[in-house]
């Protein structure tokens, strides 16, 4: 693929093929009603949310507790009937 043909995700996911895909996914995922999603979206744009979000004093990342593969497994587990599978060398995936 040519680099100049790579689209920004905001443009890409607004294409008809993706919007149809996302609508179809709602039939088998337990999604929230559209009004709840919009309420949360609106809240995430407020000064109150920004203040709460950026008021963190410290952040500690412990790779023994969480890692990218574990996050992927959590996401996959949200789909009914999905069996998450991690394949690779020993590393952070060995912790869970």
pLDDT tens per residue across span 36-55 = 989 999 999 999 998 888 88
pLDDT at 46: 94
What is the pTM assigned to this prediction? 0.37
Q: For residue 53, what is the DSSP state?
A: H
All residues at 6 or more sequence positions from 84 whose CB lies less than 8 Å from its CB, including other chains: 72, 73, 76, 77
Q: What's the chain's average pLDDT?
A: 79
């Amino acid at each position: 693929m040519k680099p100049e043909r790579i689209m920004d995700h905001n443009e890409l996911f607004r294409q008809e093929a993706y919007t149809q895909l996302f609508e179809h996914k709602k039939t088998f995922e337990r999604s929230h009603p559209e009004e709840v999603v919009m309420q949360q979206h609106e809240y995430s744009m407020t000064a109150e949310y920004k203040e709460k979000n950026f008021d963190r004093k410290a952040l500690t990342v412990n790779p023994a507790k969480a890692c990218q593969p574990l996050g992927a497994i959590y996401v996959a587990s949200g789909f009914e009937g999905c069996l998450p599978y991690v394949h690779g060398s020993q590393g952070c995936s060995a912790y869970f």
